[in-house]
């Protein structure tokens, strides 16, 4: 049988902030296309650090070292231009942060404006509608597109940020606890949205919320003290974890 190249693959990925300690230790795993993979683990286990490395966010800060390989469609992103990587890998952060000086319309298109890509009016309109529809925000905001993005509620702002990332048509969408600043209803909206979105984009989501991981992800990673302890089908991991540490975490004993 022909082997399929995974969309994203970590190969002995190590990340360190200081010379002595590693925040992420020799993580090796492959992420399948069009899945939602949840990354779980206690605070400080390196899950956000690992996620951010996929978007080369560490390049923005000094002293962060990333070793090993991270392959995107078989190509090592660590030796690619950050700008090219980030256009193919979108990211949504913990706190919704639409650009406060831009309208809702311009926020969706901000990826293009920031990169100096010119679009025709028709292309712009189409992109805005497509992206806002795919985050189920279109009906709520179609009449106020010229208002500032910061006028929206927290959940709407976060969906706007997802729309902004989707506008660039990324292969992979990274989400760093995207619902932790939101109320349960907004969280539910986003979760339903992610289940829809996995048809078009591969999602990697860091979450503290085990219920959320169970509800939306098909694969799960459990990290502890920088190590990838366990990776597998979410259902299997929740019902029958292999590692003691995973079990302890999932049963709230850690």
Residue 205 dihedral angles phi and psi, to the nearest 5°: -125, 130
Q: Closest Cα partner for 92 from 35, 154, 162, 156?
A: 162
Q: Rule CB under 8 A: say whether 130 interacts with other proteins.
A: no
Q: Between residues 20 and 61, which has the closer beta carbon with respect to other proteins?
A: 61
Interface with other proteins (CB under 8 A), residue from 27, 57, 71, 163: 57
User: 176, 95 in Cβ contact below 8 A?
Assistant: no
The region of 79-87, 186-194, 199-207, 227-235 touching other proteins under the rule CB under 8 A is: 79-87
CA distance 20 to 37: 30
The region of 127-135, 157-165, 188-196, 229-237 touching other proteins under the rule CB under 8 A is: 157-165
Q: Rule CB under 8 A: say whether 60 interacts with other proteins.
A: yes
User: 175, 204 in Cβ contact below 8 A?
Assistant: yes
Interface with other proteins (CB under 8 A), residue from 83, 120, 122, 239: 83
CA distance 97 to 85: 21
**Angle ∠(69,73,74) on CA atoms, nearest 5:** 50
Residue 92: CB minimum distance to other proteins, A: 8
Q: Rule CB under 8 A: say whether 84 interacts with other proteins.
A: yes
Q: Rule CB under 8 A: say whether 113 interacts with other proteins.
A: yes
Q: Rule CB under 8 A: say whether 114 interacts with other proteins.
A: yes
User: 54, 31 in Cβ contact below 8 A?
Assistant: no
Q: Rule CB under 8 A: say whether 172 interacts with other proteins.
A: no
Q: How many residues bind other proteins (CB under 8 A)?
A: 29
- Reading the block at residue 92, the tokens are 């949504």
Q: Rule CB under 8 A: say whether 168 interacts with other proteins.
A: yes
Q: Rule CB under 8 A: say whether 209 interacts with other proteins.
A: no
User: 216, 187 in Cβ contact below 8 A?
Assistant: no
CA distance 70 to 11: 6
Residues binding other proteins (CB under 8 A): 55, 57, 60, 62, 82-84, 86-87, 90-91, 93, 95, 97, 99-102, 110-111, 113-116, 150, 161, 164-165, 168
């Amino acid at each position: 049988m022909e082997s399929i190249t995974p969309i994203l693959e970590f190969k002995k990925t190590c990340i360190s902030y200081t010379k002595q300690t590693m925040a992420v230790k020799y993580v090796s795993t492959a992420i399948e296309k069009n899945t939602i993979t949840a990354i779980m683990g206690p605070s400080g286990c390196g899950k956000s650090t690992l996620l951010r490395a996929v978007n080369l966010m560490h390049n923005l800060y000094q002293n962060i070292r990333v070793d090993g390989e991270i392959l995107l469609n078989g190509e090592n992103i660590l030796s690619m231009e950050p700008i090219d990587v980030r256009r193919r890998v979108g990211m949504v952060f913990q706190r919704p942060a639409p650009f406060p000086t831009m309208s809702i319309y311009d926020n969706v298109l901000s990826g293009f404006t920031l990169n100096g890509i010119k679009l025709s009016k028709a292309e712009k309109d189409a992109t805005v509608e497509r992206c806002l529809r795919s985050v189920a925000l279109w009906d709520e905001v179609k009449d106020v597109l010229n208002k500032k993005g910061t006028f929206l509620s927290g959940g709407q702002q976060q969906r706007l940020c997802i729309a902004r990332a989707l506008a660039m048509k990324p292969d992979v969408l990274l989400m760093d606890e995207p619902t932790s600043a939101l109320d349960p209803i907004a969280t539910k909206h986003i979760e339903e949205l992610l289940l829809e979105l996995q048809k078009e984009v591969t999602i990697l989501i860091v979450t503290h919320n085990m219920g959320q991981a169970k509800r939306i992800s098909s694969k799960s990673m459990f990290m502890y003290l920088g190590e990838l302890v366990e990776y597998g089908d979410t259902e299997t991991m929740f019902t029958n974890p292999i590692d003691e540490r995973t079990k302890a975490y999932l049963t709230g004993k850690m």
